[in-house]
Amino acid sequence: MRTVAGIAASPGIAIAKAYLLEMPELQVERQTVADTKAELQRLERALAAAKAELEEIRLQTEARLGADKAAIFEAHVLVLSDPELIGAVQAKVESEGVNAEYALAETADFYISLFAQMDNDYMKERAADIEDVTQRVLAQLLQVKLPDLSLLQEEVVIVAEDLTPSETAQMDRRYVKGFTTNIGGRTSHSAIMARSLGIPAIVGTKDITRQVQDGEMIILDGNDGMVLVQPDEEQLVAYNDKQLMQQQQQEQWRKLVQEPSVTADGHTVELAANIGTPDDVAGALVNGAEGVGLFRTEFLYMGRNALPTEEEQLQAYRAVLEGMGGKPVVVRTLDIGGDKELPYLQLPKELNPFLGFRAIRLCLAETDIFRTQIRALLRASVSGNLKIMFPMIATLQEFRAAKEIVAEEKAKLQASGHAVSEAIELGIMIEIPAAALLADQFAKEVDFFSIGTNDLIQYTMAADRMNEQVAHLYQPFNPALLRLIDGVIQAAHAQGKWVGMCGEMAGDLQALPILLALGLDEFSMSAASILPTRSALRGLSQLQLQQLREEILAKATPEEVLALLDEQLEEVYA
Ligand SMILES: C=C(OP(=O)(O)O)C(=O)O
Ligand SMILES: [Mg+2]
């Protein structure tokens, strides 16, 4: 047995075989072949096998994620049947007497660089398709197995260098019992996705892909960030028991689904869910969400080849608003950038993507993209209780410009006969220290704030949320951060505005007493955290916590803050 430590990213225990998600190196050498006919037949067989594989992936994807997500694989099959490309490969084998791998790799490289250089998005996508498909056929020719999550047939724990948010979103929960990665932090988007999907995860292990062999048995404990490789019988029994206890705990929490979110002394707050797609609404409701505090709309833009249209977005927003049945729904406008990329936008690579051209900065520059989204939101607004929130606001000018665009699009829609709700609140994320410090000014103009601690912590501490080497500086309990949060809440309340939090800190049970002490109104979190939070709330006294506010803010270190809470816990838990 070996153990590997990482960052606990999503709670729960997974016990299954490791599935190493690593792309093998495909080495292609030039060889001369005497029998070109036999070589062409070998190529033919590899093409047929690759097509069959793609067809299987297409069917699996369509069944699980729908026809639009599966369409990409149809495009790949078409590439394999393209007479120009395949004809060129065959001609090369015949005329030069070379092996099929070499002929394919050379021909594909030619087309890939030709298309990739064109100033045309469609052709650039074709280049990516050819590259993808070539790898698949080469793997067949070289008899190397490519990992593919959509072809899983047994329960596994995924072991990978890193996972993109869309890879995480596409995991089939029947088979993927957990995942662990070399890089990433608790607030990387793959970690956030894992929590909303309820998949145990450990990130930031540095070298798990080198510590574990494909197929080895592993236990992943997402509660304490430990991976046990090749556990012995005793450990297996112990962890099976632990898993069972957690299931029993879940059943206790289930009883609170319809209960109000109220402290022992009668103070009510709102517990809302963070969602990424309309499909997440069901999970939010099952877990007792009283609203959606953050709909990360960028996931509608990911895992596809082009921007979603106004109609497509309208359907998605409507589905969420109707699904929530009149409960408040905070929809955040496109927050692309950082660890969330949109390859089809062809944005230049930046040195510091978390400090770069992203979110509202991009939306206010590329206003077509922004206006399309705003129109879809306004049209959907009559289907429920919509609130619109702008991400990464640093200055008042940005908020005013975004608000102005909303007003313009509203007027245009109404002039063309569309109904738009008159009760839409407009708010901002507080995730940049400049906005937190100027909250008193913002509070005069916005309807609400939602504190995005995932980014606010990284910008306040200058510690990348994705970098496990500076994870020790990523401190939610640092008094510097707590003072910023306090200032935001005080400033909002002075203007009669409400304040939510939709960063991961909102669902952190250790942070709950502090956030109550500071007077937070709304807590938005992964659906799976709602019931544990509601349960903890019932044991806390808001009045007593409020009296601790000044003492908390006067502390010098996170350790002192936590020690104070520990001391007071008996008092606080009424
Ligand atoms: C909720 C937040 O936004 P995201 O995690 O999507 O950056 C945040 O920054 O806290
Ligand atoms: Mg953010």
Residue 216 belongs to domain with CATH number: 3.50.30.10
Q: Mean pLDDT across the stretch 505-529?
A: 96
Residues 438 and 462 in one domain: yes
Would you say residue 187 lies in a domain? yes
CATH at residue 479: 3.20.20.60
User: Which residue is listed with tokens 């369409």?
Assistant: 71
How many domains are there within the chain?
3
The yes-or-no answer on residue 267 being catalytic is no
Q: Token digits for 388?
A: 């619109």
Weakest mean pLDDT among 69-78, 131-140, 479-488? 69-78
The pLDDT of 383-397, averaged and rounded, is: 98
Claim to verify: residue 449 and residue 417 sit in the same structural domain: yes
- Residues 508, 369, single domain; the answer is yes
The answer to whether residues 221 and 76 belong to one domain is no
- Select from 188, 192, 277, 296 the residue to mutate for testing ligand 1; criterion: most ligand atoms less than 8 Å from CB: 296
Q: How confident is the model at residue 570 (pLDDT cuts 50, 70, 90)?
A: low
Question: What is the chain's length?
Answer: 574
pLDDT at 571 over 80: no
Atom of ligand 1 nearest to the CA of 503: 10
ipTM of the complex: 0.99
Q: How far apart are CA 262 and CA 269, in angstroms?
A: 6
Ligand 2 geometric centre to CA of 192 (Å): 12
pLDDT band at 173 (very low <50, low <70, confident <90, very high): confident
- pLDDT of residue 574 exceeding 60, the answer is no
> Is there a contact between 23 and 146 (Cβ–Cβ < 8 Å)?
yes
Residue (of 431, 424, 421) closest to 398 by Cα position: 431
Distance 527 CA to ligand 2 centre (A): 18
- Copy the structure tokens of residue 410: 């509203």
Q: Look at residue 442 and give its three-state secondary structure.
A: helix
Kindly tell me if the per-residue pLDDT of 572 is higher than 60. Answer: no
Cα–Cα dist 225/187, whole Å? 14
Q: For residues 426 and 331, give the distance between their C-alpha atoms in angstroms, rounded to a whole number.
A: 10
On whether residue 111 sits in a domain, the answer given is yes
Q: What is the CA(37)–ligand 2 centre distance, in A?
A: 58
* pLDDT value for 98: 95
C-beta contacts of 173-177 below 8 A and 24+ residues apart: 173/197, 173/198, 173/199, 176/149, 176/152, 177/14, 177/15, 177/16, 177/220
- Band the pLDDT of 270: cuts 50, 70, 90: very high
What range does the domain containing 180 cover?
A: 2-22+150-242
Q: Give me the mean pLDDT over the 376-390 stretch.
A: 98
pLDDT at 71: 77
Q: How far is the CA of 296 from the centre of ligand 1 (A)?
A: 9
* Burial category of 311 from C-beta neighbours within 10 Å (exposed 0-12, middle 13-18, buried 19 and up): exposed
423, with CB counted inside 10 A (0-12, 13-18, 19+), is exposed
Alpha-carbon separation of residue 294 from 259, 389, 458, 531, 534 (angstroms): 22, 9, 19, 17, 18
Q: pLDDT by residue (tens digit) across 247-257?
A: 899 899 999 99
Instruction: Say if residue 346 is in the same domain as residue 481.
Output: yes
Residue 554, pLDDT above cutoff 80:
yes
Residue nearest to atom 4 of ligand 1 (CA): 454
Quick one: which of 64, 346, 300 has its CA closest to 165? 300
* Closest ligand by atom to 192 CA: 1
Which atom from ligand 1 is nearest to the alpha carbon of 450?
Answer: 1
How high does pLDDT run on average in the chain?
A: 92
Sheet holding 13-20, edge to edge: 2-5, 226-229, 217-221, 13-20, 156-160, 176-181, 201-203, 7-10
Residues 13 and 105 in one domain: no
Within-domain flag for 118:
yes
For residue 391, being part of any structural domain is answered with: yes
Ligand 1 pocket by Cβ (under 6 Å): 294, 296, 335, 431, 452-455, 502-503
In the chain, the percentage of residues whose pLDDT exceeds 90 is: 74
For residue 317, is pLDDT > 70?
Answer: yes
223 in the same domain as 309: no
Name which residue sits closest to atom 10 of ligand 1, judged by CA. Answer: 452
HSE toward the beta carbon, residue 516, CA cutoff 13 A? 34
Please indicate, yes or no, whether residues 138 and 166 belong to a single structural domain of this protein.
Answer: no
Is residue 414 domain-shared with residue 394, that is, in the same domain? yes
More confident: 340 or 520: 520
Task: Classify residue 203: in a domain, yes or no.
Answer: yes
